[in-house]
Structure 1
Amino acid sequence: MASPLSRLRVELKNTFTGTGAEPPAWTEELAEGNDAGYFDPGSAVWSVHSSMTPTVGGIRALLLQALHPGAMAGVYAHSDFREDPLGRLANTIRWIFTVTYGSTDAAQSASNWVRRLHEKVTGTYVDAAGVERSYAANDPHLLRWVHLAFTDAFLSAHREYGLKFPGGPDEYVKEWAIAGELMGVTDPPRSVAELRDQLSAYDGELASSHQVQDALAYIKRPPLPRSQRLGYRILFAGAVATLTPRHRELLGLSLPHIGPLPLPVKPAVLLVLGAIKLGLGRQGPSEAAALRRIRRVQGQHPPDPATS
């Protein structure tokens, strides 16, 4: 009979990858390629994305992205988030990890694949002023918004719940600009100041709607195993805590509290992230595959266990 820890590990891996105990086949493909990729193991991006904080950052990114009516309309009309929200999560993780850990060819191919999928994502939406407009997922303005939301979310979550990382926040924004360029974003931000300026340019376009509230219901309560539901509620609260007051107000969310007293979210989030790390292991299969590729292209070989 499997131990409770073994069951937890299988459930966690299935939530993040949809493949249960075995890592998805695409992770092994990250060992292929003839260069070290866009990010090395000492980079800010590698440090942030190999930690547990993107678990919180991913939730925050979904919340923030939903506030742009154009982006929300595309997700609402063309995504299967209602039927398979965890599948959508797994696809997003695959792209992020391929860009982070893959060779430059793999990162470019993954981004081109996503952009091809986006070609059919078109339609109309009602903007914050009540005017009907057309949208396209590959529209540079919407692509920028999605990139900004991801960058701000992952950075904010790591600054609140993670450890220090090489170069700090400005370095992370500068490095992750590569991901924006791969997706067709021109002149993405390369510092925290530029990130804040570009985000603020969208302030007048953000709005809540019935679509946002419908999506929010799924983000709040995804179909997770019973063993993960309390932990997810804590991570969701942690993501909400990193949003700006205005973004929380637009979403209709508030910080957890008892009467007038706010609850201490951070210790609980750190506890859950520690449990996830215990369940998933110190090094994920994507990172391990990337390290094998890097050693190979640099002409290095892993140490012999018999002599180490």
Structure 2
Amino acid sequence: MKNNALQENLSKRFRKLLSGASDGVPPWLKVVEAGDKPGLYLPSDAPWVVHGDFATLVGGVRALLMQALHPGSLTGVAQHSRYEKDPLGRLSGTIRWLTVTTFGSTDAVFGEASRVNKMHTRVTGEYETAAKEVRPYKAADPDLLLWVHVAFMDSFLRAHQNYSRKPIPGGADDYVRLWAKSVEPLGLNTAPMSEAELLETLQGFDSQLVVTPATTDVIKWIRKVPLPLATKPIYALLFHSALASLPKVYQERIGMRSYPLWILRPITTNLLAIMRKAIGPESAIEDAAVARLKRAGVIS
């Protein structure tokens, strides 16, 4: 009983931190469990397995680092985000989209996409390119949507490959191909469909990436996110694990030293496994999604 009570307490604190909900119940739980329709993915699909794993904690930090390298996405966050005053609020918004899109019904997915698309209509402005040209932007611009998508995709994929013990069903190619479905409701139909295409797409963005003083400030903020004191040592490890898993060319541009990947890989993998065990193996989100899929007759 004591162990169960301790697990529940730790689980509630963890969920409260990520969702911002005072009772520890993510507000998107009801969205995921609602209805009797299937979603984009099944429990046997690569995105479900990858996004249900604790390695996403590293992947999320890594994605933020990558996005900061593009002046368009960086400016959009700086001008239209409350990340400095409410970092956990912005985090919970991102987690909501990822969770609903991965585990929700098709109705929930399109509803979430509608919410994000409406938000994107307000994100407009100008930014200075790597070539020092001033360019207007909208969050819904296909090139910016594509960059944000591949930054997330590559980050969650590499984090899982480096810091999870779970194999990816169908491998990297299946993850890339299936997760491309997630951005179609956002209006992006040019997402890569294989790992090779993902790498090619990332390479195509190289000339657009740049590190400016604003980039450095945001990366320093990401490194020192104002989190509760007890979580800071764990977050520091997650940050360095994210940094170490970036391509060398990105690390060199950022200019921030990290520990070698071969040292961090076993430490972080074991830490995430311990965290999973401490909090408990159950996932209310996945359980709700599975129950809905059973009602839909998709799985038994």
TM-score under structure 1 length normalisation:
0.91
CA contact (8 A) 2:13 2:24 kept: no
The residue type paired with residue 194 of structure 1 is: E
Higher alpha-carbon deviation: 26-35 or 189-198: 26-35
How many residues are paired up?
297
CA contact (8 A) 1:39 1:46 kept: yes
Task: Work out which of the residue numbers 22, 29, 32 in structure 2 matches 1:30.
Answer: 32
Gap change, CA 1:189 and 1:19, over 3 Å in 2: same
Seq. identity, %: 37
Q: What are the within-5 Å matches in structure 2 for residues 65-214 of structure 1? A: 65-162=67-164, 163-214=166-217
The residue type paired with residue 251 of structure 2 is: R
The residue type paired with residue 278 of structure 1 is: K
- Per the alignment, in what secondary structure is the counterpart of residue 167 of structure 2? coil
- Give the deviation of 1:150 after TM superposition: 0.5
Q: Encode CA deviations 1:168-223: one digit per residue, 9 max, x unaligned.
A: 10000000000121221122111000001111111000001122122112211112
- Per the alignment, in what secondary structure is the counterpart of residue 33 of structure 2? coil
Partner of 1:239: 242
- Per the alignment, in what secondary structure is the counterpart of residue 28 of structure 2? helix
Q: Encode CA deviations 1:128-163: one digit per residue, 9 max, x unaligned.
A: 011111111010110000001010000011111112
The residue type paired with residue 48 of structure 2 is: W
C-alpha separation in 1, matches of 2:98 and 2:206: 26
CA contact (8 A) 1:99 1:110 kept: yes
Gap change, CA 1:270 and 1:21, over 3 Å in 2: farther
Q: What are the within-5 Å matches in structure 2 for residues 3-22 of structure 1? A: 8-22=10-24
Q: What are the within-5 Å matches in structure 2 for residues 226-305 of structure 1? A: 226-256=229-259, 264-298=263-297
Superposition misfits of 4+ residues, deviation over 4 angstroms: 1-7
C-alpha separation in 1, matches of 2:10 and 2:105: 32
The residue type paired with residue 75 of structure 2 is: A
C-alpha separation in 2, matches of 1:39 and 1:264: 34
Q: Encode CA deviations 1:95-152: one digit per residue, 9 max, x unaligned.
A: 0010100001110110121011010111111110111111110101100000010100
Q: Encode CA deviations 1:34-79: one digit per residue, 9 max, x unaligned.
A: 3211101110111111111111100000000110001100000000
Gap change, CA 1:121 and 1:300, over 3 Å in 2: closer
- Per the alignment, in what secondary structure is the counterpart of residue 264 of structure 1? helix
TM-score under structure 2 length normalisation:
0.93
C-alpha separation in 2, matches of 1:186 and 1:19: 34
Structure 1 residue runs without a partner (length 5+): 302-308
C-alpha separation in 1, matches of 2:171 and 2:146: 22
CA contact (8 A) 1:9 1:21 kept: no
